[in-house]
Amino acid sequence: MKIILFLLGIILYTGCLSFHKARLDKLTSNSSIEIKEKTTDKNIILSSYIGDKIYVYNMYHLIKTEIYKNSKPISFPKPYYSTWTGIGFDFDTFIRIEADSFSIYRDYYSVQNNNKEIWTHYKNIDKQSGGVTLIYPTYFIIIDNKIVKLSFAYINKDQYDFVPPIPVDRIVLEKISDNIFSYELIYQGIQNNSIVLAYREYSEDRIREKFSQTVYYKINDIKDNIIQYKNIKIKIIEYNNLLIKYSVID
């Protein structure tokens, strides 16, 4: 008898998974990677001490992830399983998801031909039947930023309706990652009647030594208090051997 129940459990479980795969598409749009650039702010007065960066350029990856977050606890009846009667819900006991914890479940799916429904995987629920443990996927169904149903095991079957629907917040998280390329100018003070800057270049946070150099600007040759390195123009407002006040103008 246990062998029969075990085989029945495997058939139901694999059938459940294949049915999900046939009807659900995993969403990739909930996570995206963009290449961004950031530089030192222009046309404002800045100050840097010797050894400080006076200009920074950074190209990096910005990862955006969309999540859903519950502002209030979610409670729903515990599902139970019977080999002969199918899936049901035990209204005497409840599963509770605490506030702000819904966001940790980030595998999102959509139903084919119905992209208004977002399915988010909750967890697998283990139930004992005749000594055999059966594991089924469990999903929350979200429409218009509201949880409308809990799907237990089968799509469009054995679902618990949330009445009224439970509001959840759709939040976009941004994470800066993977420095692609960057360079910087560092104030080195005054030497031999020259303003001295150090140029440092990096690729994936590793310094590119052969591109690094020290640049000297003869004070007597500086016109209109503007110095330039490549396409970077800096207007010098005040300087000494310890401090420089300046503005990046281009």
d(CA 25, CA 155): 13
- At residue 5, the pLDDT reads 42
* 62 burial type by CB count under 10 A (0-12 exposed, 13-18 middle, 19+ buried): middle
* 10 or 241, which is more confident: 241
HEC assignment per residue over the chain: CHHHHHHHHHHHHHHHHHHHHHHEEECCCCEEEEEEEEECCCCCCEEEECCCEEEEEEEEEEEEEEEEECCCCEEEEEEEEECCCEEEEEEEEEEEECCCCHHHCCCEEEECCEEEEEEEECCCEEEEECCEEEEECEEEEEECCEEEEEEECCCCCCEEEEEEEEECEEEEEEEEEEEEEEEEEEEEEEECCEEEEEEEEEECCEECHHHCEEEEEEHHHCECCEEEECCEEEEEEEECCCEEEEEECC
Instruction: Indicate the range of 27-31, 104-108, 117-121, 198-202 predicted with least confidence.
Output: 27-31
Per cent of the chain over pLDDT 70 is: 74
pLDDT in tens, 87-125: 677 888 888 888 888 777 667 777 766 667 888 876 655
pLDDT in tens, 122-164: 665 555 555 554 545 678 888 999 999 887 755 445 678 899 9
What does the block give as tokens for 104?
């940790």
What does the block give as tokens for 51?
């050894």
